[in-house]
Amino acid sequence: MPKTMRAALLDAAGDPEALRIGETDYPDRVNAEFLVKVVASSVNPIDAKTRAGRGIYGAIRSFPAVLGHDFSGVVVESPYSAHPIRPGDEVFGMVMVPRLGGSFAEYVSVPSLSVVRKPATLSHIEAAAAPLAALTAWGMVVEVAKAHEGQRMLVHAGSGGVGHFAVQFASYFGAHVIATASGSKASWLRSLGAAEVIDYTTTRFEDVVHDADVVIDLIGNVHDQTGTRSLSVLRPGGLIVNVPTGSWPTFAEEVAAAGVRGTDYKVAPDGSTLAVIARLLESGNVRVHVDQIFSLEQIAEAHHAIESGHTRGKIVLKIAEG
């Protein structure tokens, strides 16, 4: 096996141009881990925050660091010879960065509990777009909010990577979904299951939404006090789930003062849950939307794109042919 591999390397926090393409050590596979050749990865907001010195940057212990959570690729080595997933099988999943090396690289070593078979109906590009965003949306909508018939759920940033999955999962389990997005994305969100779409550029959502059971907050207070304004649309005892790291420092105090329930949420690379999501993707009950595709060499452009805040669905990096 090679001793080094190509990867997008971060030497210190900075703007997207702080990422450079270079050689780094080939990952060591130990214990119950898979070694996977990465065909595609995807860029998430947490990757951009971390690159800029926020997010999980403080947990990076050595540089240069390799970021990137999502991957889809081909197994090179399995944990043991009788494992049902064997070398040559196509898989996808999520890496816990920075505890392990990230997926903006040619290879990753990943715990076996975080790896599942890639749906046959999805390309590697599509599969790489799903794990972190879909697992985050599932955790908020299904595990925490317990989406069900008759529930009224407001999803902010419904057209984004996590948002477009949240809309679909909530709708699949019978909730009445209200999504905020720009007007140009309204018809697409309705096709994903949103019963109502509020154009945030022309309408204040608190003027038209009342007595919501749940708010899925993918913005916080980083834009127009979206988080604080959301508290007024909840019914007494309703639930707000806030996700973006550092987006609402006074979240707990404001939730308590408003007489509602609130929690943040942190995603786990749970292969058993991803396997359920994979079946929904393979059946077509849930769709993943890829907005833009970049090569690994275009990593800085991909980070600029995710930071623009106007992505529909996901941004994917093509690492290799496959």
User: Rg of the Cα trace of the chain?
Assistant: 19
CATH number, domain containing residue 309: 3.90.180.10
Q: Residue 2 is which amino acid?
A: P
pLDDT single digits (tens) 36-65: 999 999 999 999 999 999 999 999 999 999
**Residues of the chain with pLDDT > 70: what percent?**
100
Give pLDDT, residue 309: 82
* 3 state DSSP class of 188: helix
Give pLDDT, residue 313: 95
One domain for residues 214 and 239: yes
* Integer Cα distance of 152 and 83 in angstroms: 44
273 part of a folded domain: no
* Integer Cα distance of 33 and 287 in angstroms: 29
One domain for residues 32 and 71: yes
Q: How many CA atoms lie within 13 A of 151 on its CB side?
A: 24
One domain for residues 33 and 125: yes
280 part of a folded domain: no
Give pLDDT, residue 130: 98
One domain for residues 294 and 256: no
Q: Please, are residues 188 and 159 in contact by the beta-carbon 8 Å criterion?
A: yes
Enclosing domain of residue 218: 133-264
139 part of a folded domain: yes
Specify the number of domains making up the chain: 2
One domain for residues 302 and 212: no
83 part of a folded domain: yes
Q: Please, are residues 123 and 38 in contact by the beta-carbon 8 Å criterion?
A: no
- 10-residue averages of pLDDT along the chain (322 residues): 92 98 96 97 97 96 97 98 97 96 98 97 98 98 98 97 98 98 95 98 97 97 95 97 94 97 97 98 97 98 93 96 85
The whole-angstrom distance between residue 69's C-alpha and the CA centroid of its chain comes to: 9
* 3 state DSSP class of 208: helix
> Residue 312 corresponds to which tokens in the numbers above?
């529909």
* Integer Cα distance of 127 and 207 in angstroms: 38
One domain for residues 152 and 257: yes
One domain for residues 126 and 142: no
One domain for residues 126 and 146: no
Burial 164-199 (b: 16+ CB within 10 A, else e): bbbbbbbbbbebbbbbbbeeebbebbeebbbbbbbe
CATH number, domain containing residue 208: 3.40.50.720
Q: What are phi and psi of 30, to 5 degrees?
A: -130, 155
* DSSP per-residue codes, 40-59: EEEE-HHHHHHHTT-TTGGG
One domain for residues 175 and 126: no
Q: Please, are residues 242 and 216 in contact by the beta-carbon 8 Å criterion?
A: no
Q: What are phi and psi of 307, to 5 degrees?
A: -80, -10
270 part of a folded domain: no
One domain for residues 42 and 104: yes
283 part of a folded domain: no
pLDDT single digits (tens) 248-262: 999 999 999 999 999
CA angle 317–321–322, rounded 5-degree value: 100
275 part of a folded domain: no
* 3 state DSSP class of 315: strand
279 part of a folded domain: no
* Integer Cα distance of 113 and 278 in angstroms: 15
pLDDT single digits (tens) 23-34: 999 999 999 999
Give pLDDT, residue 310: 83
